[in-house]
Amino acid sequence: MQALNPRTRPLVGSAAFGVFWGSWGAAVPAVQRQSNASDANLGVALVVLALGALVSMRATGVLLDRIGPRLIPISVAAFGLTAVLPGLADSPSRLALFAFVVGAASGAMDVAINADAVHEEDASGRPLLNLAHATFSAAVVCSSLATGALRWAGASPFTVFSVAGAIVVAAALIMRRTPERPSRPTPAGEPPRLLQRVPGWLLVLGGLGAVAYWIENAWQSWGAVHLERTLDAAPAASALGPALFAAAMAAGRIAVHRLARPGSERSVLTIGALVAGGGSAVAAVAPSVPVAIVGIVVAGAGCSVCAPTILSLVGRAARSAERATAVGSATTVMYLGFIAGPAVVGGVAEATTLRISLGGVAILAVLLGVTFLVVRYPTPAIGASSTAASTPFSPDSRHP
């Protein structure tokens, strides 16, 4: 097997990650039926899955900094091996247990492939994270459609997740054969520790990323419901919402990868959040299904660029010896927004209406854009490949 270019490895990992999550989204109804889980049981399993990811994310970053990049394909392979577990769940309790294991393995792979992309950005001096996240989004769309076809043909959840897991394991084998590109030299220091203090600048960026994930998952989770319940869309039309949202995210990330220049992160983040706010507002107040879908697509394109751009800033601001730990820490904080967003939208909708709740998402996106415009960003660490055009934080707060 021929070795890949080092820049290709994060793309392979991101695509494999998207294959599983696309399959998961399309197969959840079948998993729920097979495990005899009620809506409440399924909700518990989803929460447990998220908790598993939170538990493993920072720990994976610390291990990556201590062990090195050989842990990356191992993390991917471990996730591939656990991917079949949802297809084996035959009771609510087993579904919850398997969800925790899958979540922990997912969190580890998430951090590993993002840290790999950050390392490659630094080593090559060229952007990659938006392209890697675009690959993930495109894989989610393709995998969702493929899983729908498999389910239509009568495939069981075990078959669906076996195929997805096999693809992830194959990706790990491919990634294992990819040569390493040396990092740029940076000052030495003590290896990171799991319980080490997280600096303020990292919490700020992670918090902003959490708001971006909040907006993203609010539309992913409630877009179809809004189309179907608020605007009386047919099920086939409502299903277009999440699919087109993911496609718009892929397109937005590819556009920024191709057009944005180093140092333009503030503009990318500000414009992305404001576009997401505008699209969210249109979708929330839309009088018809086509107008709402247009708004959802615009919102997806806008918020798509926030998370990868933030992770790129995190990677450049951290010392090379602590870069994966920084990525793991930021991802953990950001993921809190991904979990909380849909729940808060549901709670506000219950107290008011879904239109009002989603209008609140639009306001949140606009506020995020304003914050991106005025917040201070960290300067790159010594040896980083590009500069950030912003006021620096104090140097002693840089290290995670």
pLDDT at position 239: 74
Burial-class residue 288 by CB neighbours within 10 Å (0-12, 13-18, 19+). exposed
Of 14, 295, 301, residue with least CA distance to 138 = 14
- Which of 104-113, 228-237, 288-297, 383-392 has the weakest average pLDDT? 383-392
User: Residue 235: is its pLDDT beyond 80?
Assistant: no
Question: CA 226 to CA 381: how far, in whole Å?
Answer: 44
Helices vs strands, H then E, count in the chain: 14, 0
- Kindly give, in sequence order, each residue whose CB lies less than 8 Å from that of residue 385, ignoring residues fewer than 6 positions away: 121, 122, 123, 124, 125, 126, 184, 316
- Per residue in 245-261, pLDDT tens? 989 999 999 999 998 88
| Predicted TM-score of the model (pTM) | 0.84
pLDDT at position 225: 84
Question: CA 157 to CA 147: how far, in whole Å?
Answer: 10
Q: Around Cβ 317, how many Cβ atoms within 10 Å? A: 27
Domains located in the chain, CATH noted: 1-182 (1.20.1250.20), 195-389 (1.20.1250.20)
Question: CA 103 to CA 49: how far, in whole Å?
Answer: 4
User: Residue 287: is its pLDDT beyond 90?
Assistant: yes
Burial-class residue 251 by CB neighbours within 10 Å (0-12, 13-18, 19+). middle
Confidence category of residue 1, pLDDT binned at 50, 70, 90: very low
- Which of 45-54, 146-155, 174-183 has the weakest average pLDDT? 174-183
Question: CA 369 to CA 128: how far, in whole Å?
Answer: 23
User: Residue 6: is its pLDDT beyond 90?
Assistant: no
User: Residue 391: is its pLDDT beyond 70?
Assistant: no
- Per residue in 115-147, pLDDT tens? 999 988 888 888 899 999 999 999 988 988 888
* Average pLDDT value for residue range 260-282: 93
Question: Of 62-71, 75-84, 317-326, where does the model show the most confidence?
Answer: 75-84
User: Is residue 39 helix, strand or coil?
Assistant: helix
Unique residue bearing structure tokens 């751009």? 309
